[in-house]
Structure 1
Amino acid sequence: MLSRLSENRSASGLVFALLSAATFGISGPLGKSLLEAGWTPGSVVGSRIGLAALIMAIPAVWVMRGQWSRLRGGVALMAAYGSVAIALCQFFYFNAVARMSPPVALMLEYLAPIILVGWVWLRTQRRPGALTIGGTVVAMLGLVLVLNLLTAQQVDPIGVLWGIAAAVCLAVYFVLSAKSDGVLPPFVTVAGGMVFGAITIGVLALVGLLPVAATFGSVDLLGTGLPWIVPLAGITLVAAVLAYTLGIIGTQRLGSKVASFVSLTEVLFSVIASWIMIGDVPGPLQFVGGALIVGGVVMVRTDELRSPAAEAVPDFAPEALPAAEPATGALPIVERRA
């Protein structure tokens, strides 16, 4: 009986994790439709985070009933998580999306585990395992193809820098997630992060560091003109609130390690969503490059699973990481996200 319950829980967890990846995957094309209609990345991110914060605040308060004392140790965590892992990560990602295909921007962001491998190697002077090194090499080869470095047609270099910046923020997210275990309930951490993320975007906009502009006409989506509220509602309610909630449930049932592998399907869902929603599809070589990047990350993750459980883990080691948001998707939750 217990075995059957466990199997059912794992099966349902897989469904929730896949749905989370799928809902996060639509954020790129939805955001792209707003950007092409005249919205700035700051407006897209600020609206998405601000509305999500308002929606998630009430259930987060309910979750915290009777345990308000835990907030004292979690405010700094939520502030760092919200400002870097949510606000800046999404801002950088959508700046990349403004200059390239959403799936390509997402492929760049998913280099975060590879960035952490290099950081840990430099910091600890301890060489990673052979599988981790092999995965890093495979991912770097994938990056060469994603960026069209072997052809005359190159991806926008500024967009690449934005994508790499998003990957760095995602790496910071992983580190914060590893340090957050047990500090606050995951949903509360995400909701609080949304609040601090919205404050961060608001302050940057007020001091003039973040241009904010929006239009309120129709947007080109699904091959037709739709009201601007449609993609905004989708990117907030579906690709943020619902995606994070599904990610929490999926990770609780699968465990963060397994859920991290499932979260990699977000790249596939982003490709499909971009094709259907805005007719934007990466080229054949970029598809191969994306597959290599995902394959390299899988190799790194597999090496983590093979690591001895009793081995001491450095603060910034990949073994300490939970699964991946977007943030796009979320602490010990897999999602990023974008």
Structure 2
Amino acid sequence: MAEFRTSRRAQGLGLAILSALAFGGSGAVARPLIDAGLDPLHVTWLRLAGAALLLLPVALRHRSALRARPWLLLAYGAFPMAGVQALYFASIARIPVGVALLIEFLGPVLVLLWVRLVRRRPVSRGSAIGVVLAVAGLACLVEIWVGIRLDALGLALALGAAACQAGYFLLSDAEGDTVDPLAVISYGALTATALMTLLARPWTLPWNVLIGPVEVAGSTAPAPLLLAWLVAVATVLAYITGVAAIRRLTPTVAGAVAYLEVVTAIVAAWLLLGESLTTPQLIGAVIVLAGAFAAQRSIPDTAPATANAQTRDGHEPPVRA
């Protein structure tokens, strides 16, 4: 039995790392498509529509979930899938990929601020420390001492992605939830695609961009290949392996591994886009991650984390971009 548990944890760790790596590359893969002329909303729609199509068999097998928790599925589609991804892709068109993802990971910090300032409920000392660290790290990221060098709209969009993440934390009530996470993901993708169809208006999409090459790391790559990677690897594979991992690991371990996504995003952006962070920004990145992780581990049970990888005690890793 002990050997079985050890093997199961090892499998879970491998799957969690694979999921974080797959999620982390999404920004670096999407950015060349945006630079080639696609609107961030169009890239978001293509990603979600492709994922919804691939996950359609999963949705059909879990039709009962739609009847049992329709509002959960709608919330997941609207906030962490449509909202987070659309705002994240819009932000990386204006600020570095790594910075945008780090700001997005402030979602748990915004939850705690809402709980303390709006609901006027006490938070733990660990929560307060996490918030202070995250804010200090954010100040380093934007290099506030030189007047914030980053694009203001890009920063606002990234904060919007964090707010969508926080909004789902606050709206979701996972206590006693028995909906299969794969059902939540598949119906979330379908819901998000429907919402993004109204916003992105895919009939205006410049389809010619998707049939030619795009510039990547000083060379060129077929646009269809990047899109296929964004859909199949950075979305479908990433979500499915994340679900499989969380079922084999403790919430603390799974949550910690999830932050490898940020490291992956920074490295991928450096290799594929030539983006790099300054030394103060790298220090800020570490501080932000420490603060966000501390905040996430302190979110009250009445404001549980996302349903993308439901665990035994209601705590899950953060919403992914």
Aligned to 2:31: 32
Aligned equivalent of 2:157: 162
Gaps of 5+ in 2: none
Alignment of 1:49-198 (within 5 A): 49-62=48-61, 64=62, 68-152=63-147, 154-179=149-174, 182-198=177-193
Partner of 1:321: 305
Distance 1:88 1:3, change over 3 A: same
Change (3 A) 1:260 1:177: farther
Confirm or deny: 8 A CA contact 1:27 1:239 kept in the other structure: yes
- How far the C-alpha of 1:269 sits from its partner, in A, is 0.7
Give the match's secondary structure for 2:214.
strand
Shift of 1:276: 1.6
State the alpha-carbon separation in 1 of the partners of residues 298 and 301 from structure 2. 16
Alignment pair present for 1:235 and 2:222: no
Larger deviation, residues 182-191 vs 168-177: 168-177
Give 1:85 shift: 1.6
Under a length normalisation based on structure 1, what TM-score does the superposition of the two structures give?
0.86
In 2, are the aligned partners of 1:17 and 1:263 still within 8 Å (CA)? yes
The answer to whether the Cα contact below 8 Å between 2:246 and 2:310 also exists between their aligned partners in 1 is: no
How far is the alpha carbon of 1:153 from its aligned partner? Answer: 5.9
In structure 2, C-alpha distance between the alignment counterparts of 1:174 and 1:336, rounded to whole Å: 9
Structure 2 residue matching 1:71: 3-state secondary structure: helix
With the length of structure 2 as denominator, give the TM-score of the two structures: 0.91
Q: Is the 8 A contact 2:42 2:200 kept in 1?
A: no
CA distance in 2, matches of 1:274, 1:251: 27
Shift of 1:188: 1.1
Equivalent residues of 1:177, 1:331 under 8 A apart: no
Aligned to 1:337: 320
Deviates more, 1:52-61 or 1:17-26: 52-61
Provide the secondary structure at the position in 2 that maps to 1:124.
Answer: coil
Query: Which stretches in structure 1 are left out of the alignment for 5+ residues?
Result: 305-312
Q: Aligned Cα RMSD in Å?
A: 2.2
Distance 1:289 1:171 in 2: 21
Note the alpha carbon deviations across 1:187-208, whole angstroms, 9 max, x for none: 11101000010000112234x9
Q: How far 1:211 moved relative to its partner?
A: 7.4
Cα distance, 1:171 vs structure 2: 1.1
Does the Cα contact within 8 Å between 2:305 and 2:317 map onto a contact in 1?
no
Give the stretch that moved more between structures: 97-106 or 219-228: 219-228
Larger deviation: 150-159 or 83-92? 150-159
Moved more, 229-238 or 217-226: 217-226
Offset at residue 322 of structure 1 (A): 5.1
Structure 1 residues 211 and 174, CA gap change in structure 2 (3 angstroms): farther
Distance, in Å, in 1 between the alignment partners of 2:252 and 2:262 is: 18
Corresponding residue for 2:21? 22
Aligned residues: 315
Distance 1:150 1:88 in 2: 31
Contact 1:190 1:331 in 2 (8 A): no
d(CA) in 2 for partners of 1:181 and 1:261? 24
Answer with 123-132 or 86-95: which moved more. 123-132
Find the aligned partners of 1:119 and 1:137 in 2 and give their Cα distance. 15
CA contact (8 A) 2:142 2:150 kept: yes
CA distance in 1, matches of 2:126, 2:40: 37
